[in-house]
Amino acid sequence: MSRTHPELKTPPALAEGGLRIVALGGLGEIGRNMTVFEFGGKLLIVDCGVLFPEEHQPGVDVILPDFTSIRDRMDDVLAVVLTHGHEDHIGGVPYLLRERRDIPLVGSKLTLAFIKAKLEEHRIKPVTREVAEGDTLDFGPFETEFLAVNHSIPDALAVAIRTEAGLVLHTGDFKMDQFPLDRRITDLRGFARLGEEGVDLFLTDSTNAEVPGFTLSEGDLVPAIETVFRTAPKRVIVSSFASHVHRIQQVLNAAHAHGRKVAFVGRSMVRNMGIARDLGYLDIPKGLVVDLKQMDKLPADQVCVICTGSQGEPMAALSRMANRDHVIRISEGDTVLLASSLIPGNENAIYRIINELTRWGANVVHKGNAKVHVSGHASAGELVYCYNIVKPRNVMPVHGEWRHLKANGELAIKTGVHPRGVVLAEDGQVVDLVDGRVRVTGKVSAGNVYVDGATVGGATEASLKDRRNLAEEGVITVVAIVDADTGLLAETPDFLARGFVHDEGTFDSVVPLIEKALAKAAEEGVGGALQLEQLITRAVAGWANRNGRRSPMIIPVVIDA
């Protein structure tokens, strides 16, 4: 397998007739999937998602792919193909369209409905092209063809891209559930047909490449969900992804069968389920859904609430219920069903919520104690099947952390793909397909772009480091009044500390150090406020480190007396 070269630089010009592939996100991480294809000076983008921040990125709402490398080339972008409606595939679109409003968005009916609803919140009316499986569409030198794939959201598509450089097949996110609720299975016959034609590059979903065997069917959850609804003595509160239409369909079916009414709670849940129902992806029996007011009048054992927050998001309904900050007050005998995955990085938040809900008296059913979740991604067994059917010349694992990409690459090699044809790339690495061979030829910038409140890209790695430092170490503000003539302290400095453990006498021992530093500066003729502030910072930082191994943020303020 070919892999990273740390000294990679800006790539050379793309060879004539070559196809360039650059993932600006989704490699080495689960999220913000975005791949840019370039041929003949034109660009075709597949997906534009967001990544959700982890605990070490405080204050960040979402993380975007870095558009720097294509910012000057927005007019060359012919379309953005959206493989499905998950946030990690469409969430970045509003920000991309700020660069150029009229980039055509291409996707299936449900995917486009989800992105349009999202863009409405950003007051953007996009240019869209709706496609369905079997459709082909040309964008300049790119001939695209769409194939059905099965995933944890309906209407997902794989995309085949033909150029003079060869045939590329990008699976998007997929699995191979043979009995999905909508009977729409991954189009392996289509994959085989493309395989016969000769797939030069196969980009495949790596999320579950480390998981042996086959991902279970959505239908396998029926018994566990049934049990919850059959045995729950009082209310049932279900939390799931607001886009998992089939999971919610299963919950609706069970609620209906057991004589419960359903209320949707949470903005994205209400919005998405409305869209899914209107477009015919969700079948809601008449009279089943009620609003919260009507629900209040029903006996507890006839109530089901479906809400957001299954990943422990602090502002979502479930988290607020756990914190007693929601009109729904969890009480003894309620059953909470977390019908969702546990995305790595969210574990602490979710377990905290499970504990809180349990403390209020709820019986919490989750994937750790019942069969209430199946993954939306192909496991190793399915991936191997695909390799054997497609028989690709080259493989580029996508959508996954480094370990997932590597595991996926190894599966490809096991099925006979030449190790030289498996390219493990990182975000920003430039992969060129020329004469049927793939090669990493350079690197473009692909750092994290943080959305923080209303600002995009304002928060940097440095500001996040400051935030972590503030959270862990606290802050000391030193106000020093300095005699302008002598450069020495006019009076004892004031210390204001937050989050730094101290008492009345704590700072006594640092004063002589500041005096010494200022005396030395005066002797050497150093007198600018900025320089004195730096000296004070150094003196206080050194002192804090020696006295208790702390490294608080230090804010010096020098005032001329």
Q: Which residues bind Zn ion (CB under 5 A)?
A: 86, 173
Residue 166 or residue 397: which is nearer to Zn ion going by CB? 397
Residue 171 or residue 249: which is nearer to Zn ion going by CB? 171
Q: CA-CA distance, 387 to 384, in Å (whole number)? A: 5
Q: How far is the CB of 245 from Zn ion (least distance, A)?
A: 13
Q: How far is the CB of 208 from Zn ion (least distance, A)?
A: 12
Residue 86 or residue 118: which is nearer to Zn ion going by CB? 86
Q: How far is the CB of 300 from Zn ion (least distance, A)?
A: 35
Distance of CA 369 to CAs 267, 361, 373, 560, Å?
28, 17, 11, 66
Q: What is the DSSP letter of 191?
A: H
Query: Angle CA(462)–CA(468)–CA(469) in degrees, nearest 5?
Result: 85
Q: How far is the CB of 389 from Zn ion (least distance, A)?
A: 22
Query: Angle CA(60)–CA(83)–CA(309) in degrees, nearest 5?
Result: 40
Distance of CA 537 to CAs 200, 509, 527, Å?
58, 15, 15
Residue 83 or residue 335: which is nearer to Zn ion going by CB? 83
Q: How far is the CB of 32 from Zn ion (least distance, A)?
A: 12
Do the Cβ atoms of 109 and 135 come closer than 8 Å?
A: no
Q: CA-CA distance, 44 to 140, in Å (whole number)? A: 9
Q: CA-CA distance, 543 to 539, in Å (whole number)? A: 6
Residue 367 or residue 538: which is nearer to Zn ion going by CB? 367
- Sequence-distant (≥ 6) Cβ neighbours of residue 528 within 8 angstroms: none
Beta strands in 366-454 (DSSP E): 394-398, 429-434, 437-443, 449-452
Residue 175 or residue 406: which is nearer to Zn ion going by CB? 175
Residue 375 or residue 506: which is nearer to Zn ion going by CB? 375
Q: Where are the alpha helices (DSSP H) in 204-244?
A: 222-231
Structure tokens at 549: 């191994």
What is the secondary structure of 275-286 as a DSSP string? HHHHTTSS---T
Look-up of token digits 């190793």? 380
Q: How far is the CB of 77 from Zn ion (least distance, A)?
A: 23
Q: Which helix (H) or strand (E) holds 349?
A: helix 347-359
Do the Cβ atoms of 31 and 64 come closer than 8 Å?
A: no
Residue 133 or residue 226: which is nearer to Zn ion going by CB? 133
Q: How far is the CB of 278 from Zn ion (least distance, A)?
A: 22
Q: How far is the CB of 189 from Zn ion (least distance, A)?
A: 23
Structure tokens at 289: 């859904």
Residue 29 or residue 173: which is nearer to Zn ion going by CB? 173
Q: How far is the CB of 116 from Zn ion (least distance, A)?
A: 18
